[in-house]
């Protein structure tokens, strides 16, 4: 079990220097430790920022820093305990000295995610919201941040709670029918029970469908640009990245190492990778580049295959143009030059014609990438669900409801139906964290950084 009886301390602001830096304390001794650090005899006033001087016992004459002390009295605080925030100047030396002083006064260095873990243990947030805190901090696109903020607001919590409540209601009525068997399905007709299960099933199905896009938004994807040397890969990479990262020349084999750049495509954090052209390499360095290119292509979520429109096709090119060819985006480059080949029948729907000189086709490539990654037209609303753990549990619940419906349809006993409904509820409650085992909590909060 996790202990919350001691007082924890950590630097809450990022590593490095800044105008201000914050040291956070949480636990029963937080306010007392702050008083001792600042040698104050009068108590701090809750929620009021108070200027104080922090002393260094090894140099009693000089101050360590002037700090703004804010006391969030529990339970109305982030963790639900007494929380003290010490706003100092953002110097790592000062902030580390403050943490050491707090430890001298009895605080313990916080574990990663321990502040948010305590918020969860004290019921200030549920597990969805705690995980959303980490997602919000880690967000690299505005849509990722919005999706996380929505979950922090409780959108997903409420959706799950509503489904869980309907299941509870249905279970209660089925139980009642069990307890009074002579009345048969008096408390609910079989048809109503079937309809209620159907409704729960479709809500879970919608969540799961939406969640696949949500997961893409939360986790992002790696997209590799492949093709023959000189096809125009680095030029396309630069155009997508919006910066001249990759060296572009008309010498085949210019790009040797992998180049990556993270871009925001409709809210999805896409890491694009420029690779060496796939060919018989000229020297050992290029050969290594080609090997890395093949590895990257194998690991990528999606391949953008570039075919030079102005030179004759290779066998690889033909394979990608084939309507039954590999899954990916096929780009025909150099659309401004005279075409050297005519597109094979049926290949048009697979290809995007691009000219980087005129800018033609770049937006279409972006759209095609997003479309293939999300499996649907981009929407602007963040999906309710985005986390693999949640998604797997929603699927478990959906499958259990399917079994419950089957049991109901083939006239099985109510006990069987109820057992499946209970399994669905267990999965839903595990999402929210109502029945979370310690090792799951360790796993989730261990991924936070210290001070969160």
Ligand X SMILES: Nc1nc2c(ncn2[C@@H]2O[C@H](COP(=O)(O)OP(=O)(O)O)[C@@H](O)[C@H]2O)c(=O)[nH]1
Interacting residue ranges for ligand X, rule: CB under 6 A:
227, 229-235, 248-250, 254-255, 277, 333-334, 336-337, 355-357
The least CB distance from residue 356 to ligand X, in Å, is 4
The token pair at 337 is: 């030059």
* Beta pairing partners, 161: none
Cα torsion 45, 48, 51, 52 to 10°: value is 30
**Distance, CA of 4 to CA of 71 (rounded, Å):** 18
**Cα angle 356-309-327, degrees, rounded to a multiple of 5:** 90
The least CB distance from residue 305 to ligand X, in Å, is 11
Q: What does each C-alpha distance from 248 to 178, 232, 276, 338, 363 come to in angstroms?
A: 75, 8, 12, 20, 21
The least CB distance from residue 253 to ligand X, in Å, is 7
Burial group, residue 392, by CB count within 10 angstroms (0-12, 13-18, 19+): middle
Q: Which does 374 bind (CB under 5 to 8 A by kind): ligand X, Mg ion, none?
A: none
The least CB distance from residue 222 to ligand X, in Å, is 18
Q: Which does 356 bind (CB under 5 to 8 A by kind): ligand X, Mg ion, none?
A: ligand X
| Residue closer to ligand X, measured from CB, 7 or 254 | 254
Q: Which does 387 bind (CB under 5 to 8 A by kind): Mg ion, ligand X, none?
A: none
| Residue closer to ligand X, measured from CB, 191 or 250 | 250
Q: Which does 35 bind (CB under 5 to 8 A by kind): Mg ion, ligand X, none?
A: none
**By C-alpha distance, which of 195, 160, 197 is closest to 417?**
197
Burial group, residue 105, by CB count within 10 angstroms (0-12, 13-18, 19+): middle
**Distance, CA of 232 to CA of 249 (rounded, Å):** 9
| Residue closer to ligand X, measured from CB, 125 or 356 | 356
The residue count for the chain: 452
| Residue closer to ligand X, measured from CB, 53 or 249 | 249
Q: Which of residues 180-239 bind Mg ion (CB under 5 A)?
A: 233-234
Q: Which does 451 bind (CB under 5 to 8 A by kind): Mg ion, ligand X, none?
A: none
| Residue closer to Mg ion, measured from CB, 151 or 234 | 234
The least CB distance from residue 290 to Mg ion, in Å, is 12
The least CB distance from residue 254 to Mg ion, in Å, is 5
Q: What does each C-alpha distance from 118 to 12, 283, 372, 388 come to in angstroms?
A: 15, 57, 40, 23
| Residue closer to Mg ion, measured from CB, 292 or 442 | 292
| Residue closer to ligand X, measured from CB, 144 or 254 | 254
Q: Which of residues 248-277 bind Mg ion (CB under 5 A)?
A: 255
CB atoms within 10 A of CB 39: 10
Q: Which does 74 bind (CB under 5 to 8 A by kind): ligand X, Mg ion, none?
A: none
* Site residue total, Mg ion (CB under 5 A): 3
| Residue closer to Mg ion, measured from CB, 258 or 399 | 258
The least CB distance from residue 233 to Mg ion, in Å, is 5
Going edge to edge, which strands form the sheet with 8-11? 50-55, 63-72, 83-90, 18-26, 8-11, 108-109
Q: Which does 157 bind (CB under 5 to 8 A by kind): Mg ion, ligand X, none?
A: none
Q: Which does 337 bind (CB under 5 to 8 A by kind): Mg ion, ligand X, none?
A: ligand X
**Distance, CA of 135 to CA of 25 (rounded, Å):** 23
Q: How many helices (H) and strands (E) does the chain have?
A: 14, 12
- Applying CB under 5 A, the residues found at the interface with Mg ion are 233-234, 255
């Amino acid at each position: 079990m996790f202990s919350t009886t001691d007082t924890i301390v950590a630097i809450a602001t990022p590593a490095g220097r800044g105008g201000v830096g914050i040291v956070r304390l949480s636990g029963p001794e937080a306010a007392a430790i702050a008083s001792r650090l600042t040698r104050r005899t009068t108590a701090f006033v809750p929620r009021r920022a108070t200027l104080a001087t922090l002393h260094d016992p090894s140099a009693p004459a000089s101050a360590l820093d002037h700090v703004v002390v804010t006391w969030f009295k529990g339970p109305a605080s982030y963790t639900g305990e007494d929380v003290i925030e010490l706003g100092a100047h953002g110097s790592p030396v000062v902030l580390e000295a403050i943490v050491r002083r707090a430890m001298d006064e009895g605080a313990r260095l916080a574990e990663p995610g321990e502040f948010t873990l305590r918020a969860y243990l004290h019921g200030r947030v549920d597990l969805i919201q705690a995980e959303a805190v980490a997602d919000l901090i880690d967000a690299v696109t505005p849509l990722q941040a919005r999706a996380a903020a929505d979950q922090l607001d409780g959108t997903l919590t409420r959706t799950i709670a509503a489904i869980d409540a309907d299941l509870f209601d249905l279970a209660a009525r089925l139980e009642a029918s069990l307890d009074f068997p002579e009345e048969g399905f008096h408390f609910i007709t079989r048809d109503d029970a079937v309809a209620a299960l159907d409704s729960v099933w479709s809500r879970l199905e919608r969540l799961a469908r939406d969640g696949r896009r949500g997961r893409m938004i939360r986790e992002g994807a790696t997209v590799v640009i492949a093709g023959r040397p000189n096809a125009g890969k680095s030029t396309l990479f630069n155009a997508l990245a919006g910066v001249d990262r990759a060296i572009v020349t008309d010498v085949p084999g210019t790009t040797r190492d992998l180049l990556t750049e993270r871009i925001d495509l409709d809210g999805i954090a896409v890491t694009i990778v420029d690779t060496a052209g796939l060919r018989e390499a000229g020297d050992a360095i290029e050969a290594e580049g080609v090997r890395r290119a093949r590895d990257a292509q194998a690991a990528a979520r999606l391949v953008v295959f570039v075919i030079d429109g102005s030179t004759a096709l290779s066998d690889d090119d033909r394979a990608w143009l084939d309507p039954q060819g590999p899954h990916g985006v096929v780009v025909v480059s150099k659309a401004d030059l005279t075409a050297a080949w005519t597109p094979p029948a049926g290949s048009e729907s697979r290809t995007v014609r691009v000219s980087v000189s005129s800018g033609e086709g770049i937006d279409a490539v972006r759209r095609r990438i997003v479309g293939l990654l999300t499996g649907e037209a981009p929407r602007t609303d963040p999906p309710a669900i985005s986390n693999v753990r949640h998604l797997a549990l929603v699927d478990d619940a959906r499958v259990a409801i399917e079994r419950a419906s089957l049991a109901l349809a083939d006239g099985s006993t109510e006990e069987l139906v109820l057992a499946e409904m209970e399994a669905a509820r267990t999965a839903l409650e595990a999402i929210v964290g109502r029945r979370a085992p310690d090792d799951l909590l360790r796993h989730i909060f261990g991924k936070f950084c210290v001070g969160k």
